[in-house]
Amino acid sequence: MVLSKTRILAAFVALLAFTIGAAAQDADLILLNGKIVTVDDRFSIAQALAIRGQRIVAVGSNADVEKRKGPATRTIDLAGRTVIPGLIDNHAHWIRAAEHDELRFDGITSRALALKLLTDRVQATPAGQWVEVLGGWSEEQFTDDPRGFPRDELDRIAPNNPVVVQAIYNHSYLNSAAQAALKITAATPNPPNGTFEKDAAGQPTGVVRGPGGVAFVAAGIPLFDQDAWLANTRKLVTYLNSLGVTAWLDAGGRGMGAKHYEPFRQLAERGALNIRAFWTTIRAPATPAEADAVINEIPQQKPFQGDDYFNQVGWGEGVYAPVTTQLLRATSNTKPEDMAQYRRIAEALAAHGLYVNSHVEMEAAIDAFLDQYEAINKTHPIKGLRWTFSHLDQVTEAQLERMKRLGMGAQIHSRPLIQGALMHKVHGDKAWDMPPFRRVQDSGIHWGLGSDATAVTTSNPFYTLSLAVTGEMIGGRKVNRQTISREEALIAHTRSNAWFLFEEGNIGSLTAGRYADLLVLDRDYLTVPEREIKEIKPVLTMVGGKVVYEAPAK
């Protein structure tokens, strides 16, 4: 078909009209009179911001932004409040966390208050149902009485409900009902990597120790049915929104399967997931034969089939179980025969072009992993795949240089918030530099901040920022001397983390074209006294231009 000149002209005029119209399109929402910390490349501060649909369309002065105001535009007067990009956590286990509606001791510094919260929760729970706290706190964070919860005390407040209070990922306190439900008796053999503590008469005391013990107890708590799981997922997301989290990279975890991902997938499909959840496939092969099975499975992996709310981005954090290191153990278990198995799996992942995140903490282990990566890079280049190490509590300058040469990124976590005192017991003075926030920042490597919530630290990102800036654990004890500026910490918890999610064009800073993921804060992050950073709370949280949380009016 040949188009007539008139038709071409008409099409041109229509296109021109459309273009002009689009440029002048009104904003849906305008935020005025604020202190907008954009976290753009120049860390510029603006006064106002306009949103159309899910994205920011203008950032600047009130006058600049008001140009986007039309008859239907809604306006929020920020009255001088500070706005920051939504906080992105590069390492958390929140997809698993939705399996239980646990009570949290996030940021609680008084044992008396923790006991009161537990008592209230028990009283609000029907008899027979479980009440659980699954980590996220340690005895050392209590400034009034730094100790755990003996069985007698738990029995007194909960005669009719099984109660589990897990400290970090180290030990669990059980009441008699929980002990009975889990069938723990004098005759029960210890689980692998765990022990049932016994009294002088050989009877179990209610304390279960070791990571295997903690896992045994947690696996015995009944899971939700599908509908309740979905409802609890929404509740968890609202809690995270209230803390200021708008996106994260999920690190999988113990006992996870398809049923854990399903509620998030369903919510995303309905446009009802008020947070951005990105995840990696986790497998924990422990023998060469299991490694073979995993290697066969790798070619079927197809990441990036989701959207900007729910997407698989690669593989990790566990790759080969026998080489997993632990923060509270000074020695690394990286035997050559186990590293050889790790290498086979990592090489298959590189050959398939997948992003890989590996859990590694201690200096010796980091070297052992880097030796493998450098060898793999010669046959299957990994530069460009954004491979990362998570935790890196003892990383040295030389190791950071090796990582940079491989195009790697560093994910650094706030576990000293509740484990700082224990880290000093295990690692002595070395713990002052664990993790080395300052060293990592100064190395120039691409790096970001995360929590490793929920078991081994709190979920609150303002606590992570606080640790990086003050070096203080919950309760106020100084445990880290590698502190960074609050601007560096904020970049590491926003813009830098977008890169780990392969979303750096979409989120992480408040600039035109990106999603309107933002927090209006109750006080100014840039000027409050350092010790108040952890107290900061969003009064409003927005994800993709939608208000997902508003603090109750005072």
CA–CA separation, 275 and 377 (whole Å): 35
CB of 391 to Zn ion, least distance (A): 6
**Phi, psi torsion values for 166, nearest 5 degrees:** -90, 130
Is 141 or 358 the residue whose CB approaches Zn ion more closely? 358
CB of 482 to Zn ion, least distance (A): 19
Asked if 111 contacts 144 with a C-beta cutoff of 8 angstroms, the reply is yes
CB of 455 to Zn ion, least distance (A): 10
User: Residue 504: which of 251, 272, 278, 351 has the closest Cα?
Assistant: 278
Is 52 or 391 the residue whose CB approaches Zn ion more closely? 391
Is 60 or 316 the residue whose CB approaches Zn ion more closely? 316
CB of 361 to Zn ion, least distance (A): 8
User: Residue 243: which of 97, 416, 107 has the closest Cα?
Assistant: 107
CB of 450 to Zn ion, least distance (A): 10
User: Residue 40: which of 381, 510, 356 has the closest Cα?
Assistant: 510
Binding region for Zn ion (CB under 5 A): 317, 359
What are the distances in angstroms from CA 336 to CA 175, 332, 369, 549? 43, 12, 11, 50
CB of 75 to Zn ion, least distance (A): 44
Is 52 or 91 the residue whose CB approaches Zn ion more closely? 91
What are the distances in angstroms from CA 180 to CA 119, 170, 177, 185, 204? 20, 21, 5, 8, 11
59 contact partners, CB below 8 Å, separation of at least 6: 36, 38, 46, 48, 49, 50, 65, 510, 511, 512
CB of 550 to Zn ion, least distance (A): 33
CB of 195 to Zn ion, least distance (A): 23
Is 361 or 517 the residue whose CB approaches Zn ion more closely? 361
**Phi, psi torsion values for 19, nearest 5 degrees:** -65, -45
Q: Judging by beta carbons within 10 Å of its beta carbon (0-12, 13-18, 19+), is residue 494 exposed, middle or buried?
A: buried
User: How far is CA 307 from its chain centroid?
Assistant: 19
Is 91 or 514 the residue whose CB approaches Zn ion more closely? 91
Lookup result for tokens 């990441």: 303
Is 122 or 412 the residue whose CB approaches Zn ion more closely? 412
- Retrieve residue 142's tokens: 């209590």
DSSP symbols for 474-528: TTS-B-------HHHHHHHTTHHHHHHTT-TTTSSS--TTSB--EEEESS-TTTS
How many angstroms separate the most distant Cα atoms in the chain?
Answer: 100
Ranked by CB distance to Zn ion, the top (closest) residue is 359
CB of 327 to Zn ion, least distance (A): 9
Asked if 168 contacts 458 with a C-beta cutoff of 8 angstroms, the reply is no
Is 85 or 409 the residue whose CB approaches Zn ion more closely? 409
Is 317 or 393 the residue whose CB approaches Zn ion more closely? 317
User: How far is CA 362 from its chain centroid?
Assistant: 21
CB of 162 to Zn ion, least distance (A): 28
Is 230 or 313 the residue whose CB approaches Zn ion more closely? 313
Asked if 305 contacts 281 with a C-beta cutoff of 8 angstroms, the reply is no
